[in-house]
Structure 1
Amino acid sequence: MSEPVILVEKSGAVATVTLNRPGAMNALSRDLRKAIAETFEELEADENIRVAILTGAGKAFCAGLDLKELGGDASAVGGGGVNSTIGDKDPVTSIGRFSGPVIGAINGVAITGGFELAIACDVLVCSENARFADTHARVGILPGWGLSQKLSRAIGIYRAKELSLTGNFLSAQQAEQWGLVNRVVTAEELLPVCRKLADDMLSVVPQCLPAYKKLIDDGFAQDFGTALKTERQFSNAANKSVAPEEIAARREGIQNRGKQQTS
């Protein structure tokens, strides 16, 4: 019996999703693309799961599309590297529809489609072994899962152009300096750090976790003036339901937490 192409481990309100094609550097075969999409659809439907961690088995996070499977068939390459007419589900869109935070635990190389998968996450923590590369131009195709737009917004247009127009690799340390990833840790620390981050997220007021993520994402897709109006609209509607005594009680907890984190 063959190994599943994706593994899901649930612990409390956290699901760890592992791409499981280590022999192929977790390349995005049709089965794996479908499995990623369906997995995140299922997690969104699971009321108990509020945070997800996405990582890869073996030495790679994801080496991009499985070019061997494509077999050089140009008709199979299109938006995101996959033509929508062949019935494939879009894993990046499905990740984006998960209402809770998705923490990318980038354990190794994230190349082209794998790079797009990484930046579909909300927070990126990578091991010292991680490297990033946008090789679309070297393969001879254009991205369709958002990389050409998200990357410039994350690290600036000049750096994004350098990466995408050369196809050069970016080290974990340089990715941190450029603001692409939140932090770099050792390989051994990667999942424990991500799980601790997930626990921190779960400790906030429950309804604020998906609501705040949505507010940030919606505003990020708008111009600044419209985004400010969006924030005002969201906050006016949401904050009416918060009682002053609730805020006072929570403030004490925040003060205690601050003392613990600075000690």
Structure 2
Amino acid sequence: MKFQNLLLEKTDGVAVVTLNRPDAMNALSKALRSELHKVMVALDKDDDVSVVILTGAGERAFTAGLDLKELGSDPKAMSAANATGADENPVKAIECCSKPVIGAINGVAITGGFELALACDVLIASENARFADTHARVGIMPGWGLSQKLSRLIGLYRAKELSLTGNFLDAATARDWGLVNRIVPAAELLPTARKLAADMATIPVETLSLYKSIIDDGYAKSFGKAMNLEQERSTANNRKVTPAAVEARRAAIQARGRSQ
């Protein structure tokens, strides 16, 4: 597949998708959002891919969010902030992929870019990474989930501080607040993300997708309903697992443990 606004590389079960508009801080133009949707749908169907890494070109930006120049020149473009279709809403585009998506945050993730980062399943941040919610400063309210996700991830008061000031959050504080999994030097960002993706890719993709869905769907429910969801899906899955399959997996786990 060839794209004008992103790069795609596939190796050993891992796909790396790079937002490729570095001169525009990888801003999410309409064309880029459309291509992101197409690639995520394709990767979800690709039997040779188990894990996806999402990153940005260059060291300045993961993505600066919606392309403000595009918004300022086309009155109809403003509807993108509240788009529900996956071809225009990049968060929905990421959600089209049932496989794990690792966000390799190489630079700033601003406003819609912040929302895109939060759509990923795991976040690895470069030391250059910074996060900012500038919706209020631009005069646009978030429509891709930031106002609800952020408080659930870092707490109500911290989320309000970020969203009601528009101030930047540096990588170290983002890690301390539990927003990112870890920080690495810029040169080690993709190698670290690839290593993590390779670890995930040793697990059958059907198992990865099922476990991801249990976590995500349960997180959106109350604790009691989430426990019921786990029981329901766990029971349905575990009934199909044979003793022979468990023994084969156990041997593989032991061999992996000895090699680490």
Task: Give the shorter-chain TM-score range.
Answer: over 0.9
Deviation at 1:178, TM superposition (A): 0.4
Alignment of 1:119-198 (within 5 A): 119-198=118-197
**Cα gap change, 1:88 to 1:77, in 2 (>3 Å):** farther
Letter in 1 for 2:62: F
**Cα gap change, 1:84 to 1:207, in 2 (>3 Å):** closer
Q: Which runs of 5+ in 2 are unaligned?
A: none
Once the two structures are superposed, what CA deviation does each residue of 1:205-242 show, in whole Å capped at 9, x if it has no partner?
Answer: 44211110011111011111000000000011000111
**Cα gap change, 1:45 to 1:252, in 2 (>3 Å):** closer
**Cα gap change, 1:148 to 1:113, in 2 (>3 Å):** same
Matched, 1:113 2:112: yes
**Cα gap change, 1:221 to 1:198, in 2 (>3 Å):** same
Which residue in the other structure is 1:76 paired with?
Answer: 77
Alignment TM-score, normalising by the size of structure 2: 0.93
Structure 1 residues 42-51 or 110-119, which shifts more?
42-51
Q: Which runs of 5+ in 1 are unaligned?
A: none
Deviation at 1:188, TM superposition (A): 0.7
Which residue in the other structure is 1:212 paired with?
Answer: 211
Letter in 1 for 2:78: V
Work out the CA distance in 2 between the residues paired with 1:171 and 1:109: 9
Say whether the 8 Å CA contact 2:84–2:92 is kept in structure 1.
no
Letter in 2 for 1:77: M
Which residue in the other structure is 1:7 paired with?
Answer: 7
Work out the CA distance in 1 between the residues paired with 2:232 and 2:170: 40
Matched, 1:222 2:204: no
Say whether the 8 Å CA contact 1:27–1:62 is kept in structure 2.
yes
Which residue in the other structure is 2:25 paired with?
Answer: 25
Work out the CA distance in 2 between the residues paired with 1:254 and 1:227: 28
**Cα gap change, 1:170 to 1:239, in 2 (>3 Å):** same
Matched, 1:61 2:62: yes
Once the two structures are superposed, what CA deviation does each residue of 1:117-167 show, in whole Å capped at 9, x if it has no partner?
Answer: 111100000100000000001111111111111111111111111111111
Structure 1 residues 126-135 or 146-155, which shifts more?
146-155
RMSD: 1.9
Say whether the 8 Å CA contact 1:77–1:83 is kept in structure 2.
no
Work out the CA distance in 2 between the residues paired with 1:203 and 1:47: 14
Say whether the 8 Å CA contact 1:82–1:88 is kept in structure 2.
no
Count of residues in Structure 1 that have an aligned counterpart in Structure 2: 257
Deviation at 1:73, TM superposition (A): 5.0
Alignment of 1:69-108 (within 5 A): 69-71=70-72, 73=74, 75-78=76-79, 81=81, 89-108=88-107
Alignment TM-score, normalising by the size of structure 1: 0.92
Which residue in the other structure is 1:241 paired with?
Answer: 240
Letter in 1 for 2:81: G
Deviation at 1:100, TM superposition (A): 0.4
Say whether the 8 Å CA contact 2:38–2:87 is kept in structure 1.
no
Deviation at 1:4, TM superposition (A): 1.8
Say whether the 8 Å CA contact 1:76–1:83 is kept in structure 2.
no
Say whether the 8 Å CA contact 1:14–1:52 is kept in structure 2.
yes
SS in 1 for 2:187: coil
Which residue in the other structure is 1:231 paired with?
Answer: 230
